[in-house]
Structure 1
Amino acid sequence: MEELKSAMEEHMDQMADLVQKFSSELRYGLRPAYDNFIGFFHAIDWKEPWLMCLIGLHFALLLLTIFSRKHINFQMCLFLLALAGVYLAENLNRFLGENWKSFAGQNYFDRSGVFLSVLWSGPLLVIAIIILVNTLFSLCFLMVRWKKAELRYRARVARDKKD
C-alpha cells in the first residue's frame, strides 16, 4: 500500500511539473508573437492614402456582405470575387512591389508577401467565411422549410385517404 501511495505522489509531482512547464511555455510562447504584431503595426504608415482606401474598400465589402445577406446569388458572386482576389494576391504583390514608388512612401511588398497577405488576403478571407456561414444558415433554413412542406403534404394526403 505504501508503494502505491508513493507512486501516486510521484506521478502527481510529475504532472504538476508538466503543467507548470506548459503554462510557462505558453506565457513565453505568446510574447514573441505579440511583439511581432506590435512591431508590424508600428512599421506601417497608416495615414498613406492608398492604405486608407484599401481599408475603406474592405469595410465597404463587409457592409455589402452584411446588407446583401438575403440575396444568395449576389453573395455567391461576391464570394467568388473575394476568393479571386486572394488567388491573385501573389501577382498583385509582385506588381505592387515593382511599382511601389508611384503610390507609397516605403516598400511594403516583400518577396514572401506578408504585408499583402495580412492587409489584402486576410480581410477577403474573413468576408468569404462570413458569406460561407451565411450560405450554410440559409441552406439549413431552406431544408427546414422543405421538410415542413413535405410533412404538410403527407398530412393532407393521409387526411384525403381517410375521407
Structure 2
Amino acid sequence: MAILTRNHGNFQVVLFFMLLLLVYFSENINEVASHHWSLFSRQQYFDNKGMFISLLFSVPILLNCMIMMASWLWQSSQLMIRLKRAQLKQKHHESLNGATETMSSKDD
C-alpha cells in the first residue's frame, strides 16, 4: 500500500499516521489479544513483554513507514532539482535577453 500510493500525498499522510497509531497502541492490542487469544488461536502467542506482536505486527508497520519517509525524501529531492534547473534556465534566459538588449541599445 505504501508503494502503490506513493503519488497520492494526502492519502499517504493519513496512512502514515494511522500506521504509527497502530504501533503506538500495539501494547494495548497485545493486552487485549492475550486475554482473548482462545477466540482466534490455538496457542497463546501474546506474552507480557510483547515480543510476538512487536516482531510480527510493529516491525513490518515501521518498515512501511520508513519506506514512505524514504519516498517522500526522494520526491522532495527530485522537486528541488527540478526547481533549481528551472531557476538556472530562467537566469540564463534573462542574461541572454539582457545582453541582446544592451547590444541593441549600443546600435542605436
> What TM-score bracket applies, with the shorter chain setting the length?
0.7 to 0.9
- State the partner residue of 2:71: 134
**Percentage of matched positions with identical amino acids:** 35
Greater per-residue helix proportion: 1
Read off the aligned partner of 1:93 and give its amino acid letter: N
What is the TM-score when the length of structure 2 is the normalising length?
A: 0.85
Gaps of 5+ in 2: 102-108
Unaligned runs of 5+ in 1: 1-63
- SS of the residue 2:3 aligns to: helix
- Taking the TM superposition and a 5 Å limit, the aligned residue runs for 1:38-77 are 64-77=1-14
2:43 matched to which residue of 1? 106
Stretches (4+) displaced over 3 A: none
Alignment counterpart, residue 82 of structure 1, candidates 4, 8, 19:
19
SS of 1:66's equivalent in the other structure is coil
Give the Cα–Cα distance (whole angstroms) in 1 for the partners of residues 11 and 94 of structure 2.
38
Q: Which has the higher contact order (CA 8 A, sep 6+)?
A: 2
| Paired residue total | 100
Aligned-CA RMSD value: 1.1
Aligned equivalents of 1:152, 1:71: Cα separation in 2: 29
- Provide the TM-score with structure 1 as the length reference: 0.58
